[in-house]
Amino acid sequence: MSSGIISDISETLRKLLEDKLAGLVVQENVIVESPAEFTFDVQPSLIVFLYQFTENPHFKYQEPGRIASDKNSEQIKRPPFVVDLHYLLVPYAQTRDNEYHILERVIQTLSDYSTLRGSLLQRGLAGSDQEFRIIHQSLSLEELVRLWTTFYNRPFKASVSCQVTPVGIDSALKPMPVRPVVGREL
């Protein structure tokens, strides 16, 4: 299920923000892109930038999953590698006031829709029963400065940082057969 999951979650987040920013930002201007690549014109915009992913420590030591092949054999599959996706949401507008209005609506949306599930899920996630939490993330000034210096001399802008979790990336290895225990010796 995880093929393209990072792209699917980015699109889910983008689409949610696009819908909730109606009236402030036109649909085509909610963009999944790096602030370094973005060229601002006169239309208000919101950049959804995946800047990092980290291993989720709560899912680090999962047991392998068992798959019943038939009544005499089983297979085990490796558990997914579970990550947290870290996003920076950056508004662009002609005035600071408009950027602040966009930021307020982004914060409101992330608070109101703190779980991505059901009809909110896009692309390959649509119709699945998966759920992903959106958690506000406070970055220190040092982290923000370090992040913004990677954007090719772009001026620092007020932005919102959030984390989407847990995101499971399935193993590419085939399940391994496991022989059942037929007897034991003491």
Q: How far apart are CA 123 and CA 137, in angstroms?
A: 26
Looking at residue 40, its pLDDT comes to 83
Predicted confidence (pLDDT) at residue 69 exceeds the cutoff of 70? no
Looking at residue 60, its pLDDT comes to 73
SS3 for 77? strand
Task: Assign 3-class secondary structure to 107-121.
Answer: HHHHHHCCEECHHHC
What's at 23, amino acid-wise?
Answer: G
pTM (2 decimals)?
0.86
pLDDT: which is higher, 68 or 33 = 33
Tens of pLDDT, residues 75-126: 778 888 999 999 999 999 999 999 999 999 999 999 999 999 999 999 999 9
Looking at residue 1, its pLDDT comes to 47
Q: Is 107 domain-assigned? A: yes
Looking at residue 176, its pLDDT comes to 78
pLDDT: which is higher, 126 or 186 = 126
Predicted confidence (pLDDT) at residue 74 exceeds the cutoff of 80? no
Q: Is 124 domain-assigned? A: yes
Burial 122-151 (b: 16+ CB within 10 A, else e): bebbeeeebebebeeeebeeeebeebbeeb
Tens of pLDDT, residues 132-173: 999 999 999 899 888 988 888 788 899 999 999 999 998 888
Q: Is 146 domain-assigned? A: yes
Q: Is 92 domain-assigned? A: yes
Query: Residue 7 carries which DSSP code?
Result: H
Q: How far apart are CA 32 and CA 13, in angstroms?
A: 9
Looking at residue 39, its pLDDT comes to 87
Q: How far apart are CA 101 and CA 150, in angstroms?
A: 26
CATH of the domain at 104: 3.30.2000
Q: Is 140 domain-assigned? A: yes
Residue the block writes with tokens 């992040």: 147
Looking at residue 180, its pLDDT comes to 67
Looking at residue 34, its pLDDT comes to 92
Looking at residue 10, its pLDDT comes to 97
Q: Is 19 domain-assigned? A: yes
Q: Name 136's bridge partners.
A: 162
Looking at residue 107, its pLDDT comes to 97
Starting at the earlier edge strand, list the strands of the sheet with 30-32. 30-32, 45-55, 81-92, 160-169, 132-136, 115-116
* Domain count of the fold of the chain: 1
Show the tokens assigned to 118: 């059901």
HSE at residue 156, side-chain half, CA atoms within 13 A, is: 10
Q: Is 181 domain-assigned? A: no
185: pLDDT confidence band, cut at 50, 70 and 90? confident
Q: Name 45's bridge partners.
A: 92
Range of the domain at 113: 5-57+74-171
Cα distances (Å, whole numbers) of residue 126 to 55, 119, 153, 157, 164: 24, 7, 38, 33, 17
Q: Is 69 domain-assigned? A: no
Q: How far apart are CA 76 and CA 144, in angstroms?
A: 43
Q: Are strands 176-178 and 73-77 parallel, antiparallel or unpaired?
A: antiparallel
